[in-house]
């Protein structure tokens, strides 16, 4: 039976716990967590009915799958506190930005490792997770990982060399899309719309655009073409976007995020 222990019970861990329970992938009795912050421990325990402990040592022995869900800066110290208790029964799933398979396998020589880059949209079960298997992972681990990750969104296996780009695009991406939305909402407010109305119009349009692209398997280019009629409103707006350096700025934005992901792995 799968027993999942989460180390760190912050935002991402909560999204994982909630999805595993809501989709009935696991029962609450199959999930344990540990969390440094006492108030947060009580909150997570109350919300999900799972046992939440103060230290990793308390959950390692009782789990066969361990999610590492602390901030990248805390990974090394946190892992050192329980690495000796890991055995061949443990599959460790790290969601920490920038922590490489080599880093993680060095820190946890006994465990099988999977590296995952999820995103915050996992909170509403529309997450995007990329994963890559460590050198000691087995074929059966791929199946387990896919089952667990698909409880909170879509899943894609990719070679580790792409993880800095993945971190930039889908890991940090929700903040970049939200930034664009914020700017468009402010513009609509300046045209007289209320903030609530502008947010609803903007958010539903963002959601609908992604659904349309995915459901109809359209490329962004095809969608742009389909919405743009000669001398129409979209053409007028795209004329401004096309002449601007927005594409270059977005390129710089993703490069900066990918660079930071690389630095975190150093």
Point out which residues bind ligand NAP (CB under 6 A): 7-13, 34-37, 40, 56, 69-72, 74, 78, 95-97, 117-120, 171
In whole angstroms, the minimum distance from the beta carbon of 232 to ligand NAP comes to 37
User: Between 60 and 97, whose beta carbon lies closer to ligand NAP?
Assistant: 97
By DSSP bridging, strand 112-117 and strand 127-133 are antiparallel
Residue 6, strand partner residues: 33, 67
User: Between 68 and 133, whose beta carbon lies closer to ligand NAP?
Assistant: 68
Residues 153 and 127 sit within 8 Å (Cβ to Cβ): yes
In whole angstroms, the minimum distance from the beta carbon of 68 to ligand NAP comes to 7
User: Between 33 and 133, whose beta carbon lies closer to ligand NAP?
Assistant: 33
Residue sitting closest to ligand NAP (CB): 10
User: Between 75 and 198, whose beta carbon lies closer to ligand NAP?
Assistant: 75
Count Cβ atoms within 10 A of the Cβ of residue 181 and give its class: 0-12 exposed, 13-18 middle, 19 or more buried.
middle
In whole angstroms, the minimum distance from the beta carbon of 143 to ligand NAP comes to 22
Closest CA to 145 of 164, 158, 132: 132
In whole angstroms, the minimum distance from the beta carbon of 137 to ligand NAP comes to 19
In whole angstroms, the minimum distance from the beta carbon of 60 to ligand NAP comes to 11
In whole angstroms, the minimum distance from the beta carbon of 79 to ligand NAP comes to 9
Residues 12 and 43 sit within 8 Å (Cβ to Cβ): no
User: Between 71 and 89, whose beta carbon lies closer to ligand NAP?
Assistant: 71
User: Between 7 and 198, whose beta carbon lies closer to ligand NAP?
Assistant: 7
Tokens standing for 36? 């440094």
In whole angstroms, the minimum distance from the beta carbon of 98 to ligand NAP comes to 7
**132 C-beta neighbours (distance < 10 Å), count:** 21
Ordered DSSP codes for 13-66: HHHHHHHHHHTTSS-GGGEEEE-S-HHHHHHHHHHH--EEESSTHHHHTT-SEE
CA atoms within 13 A on the CB side of 152: 27
User: Between 95 and 114, whose beta carbon lies closer to ligand NAP?
Assistant: 95
DSSP 109: T
Distance CA 114, CA 80 (A): 18
């Amino acid at each position: 039976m799968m027993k999942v222990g989460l180390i760190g019970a912050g935002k991402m861990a909560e999204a994982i716990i909630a999805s595993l329970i809501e989709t009935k992938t696991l029962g609450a009795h199959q999930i344990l967590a540990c969390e440094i912050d006492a108030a947060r421990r009580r909150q997570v325990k109350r919300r999900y009915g799972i046992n939440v402990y103060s230290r990793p040592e308390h959950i390692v022995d009782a789990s066969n799958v361990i999610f590492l869900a602390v901030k990248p800066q805390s990974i090394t110290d946190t892992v050192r506190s329980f690495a000796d208790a890991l055995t061949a029964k443990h599959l460790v799933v790290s969601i920490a930005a920038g922590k490489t398979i080599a880093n993680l396998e060095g820190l946890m020589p006994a465990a099988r490792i999977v590296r995952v880059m999820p995103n915050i949209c996992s909170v509403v079960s529309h997450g995007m997770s990329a994963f890559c298997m460590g050198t000691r992972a087995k074929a059966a681990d791929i199946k387990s990982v896919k089952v667990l990750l698909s409880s909170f969104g879509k899943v894609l296996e990719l070679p580790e060399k792409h993880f800095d780009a993945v971190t930039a695009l889908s890991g940090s991406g929700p903040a970049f899309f939200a930034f664009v939305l914020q700017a468009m909402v402010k513009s609509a407010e300046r045209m007289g719309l209320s903030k609530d109305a502008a947010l609803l119009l903007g958010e539903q349009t963002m959601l609908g655009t992604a659904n349309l692209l995915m459901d109809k398997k359209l490329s962004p280019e095809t969608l742009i073409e389909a919405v743009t009629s000669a001398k129409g409103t979209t053409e007028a707006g795209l004329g401004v976007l096309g002449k601007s350096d927005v594409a270059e700025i977005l390129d710089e934005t993703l490069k900066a995020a990918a660079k930071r992901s690389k630095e975190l792995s150093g």
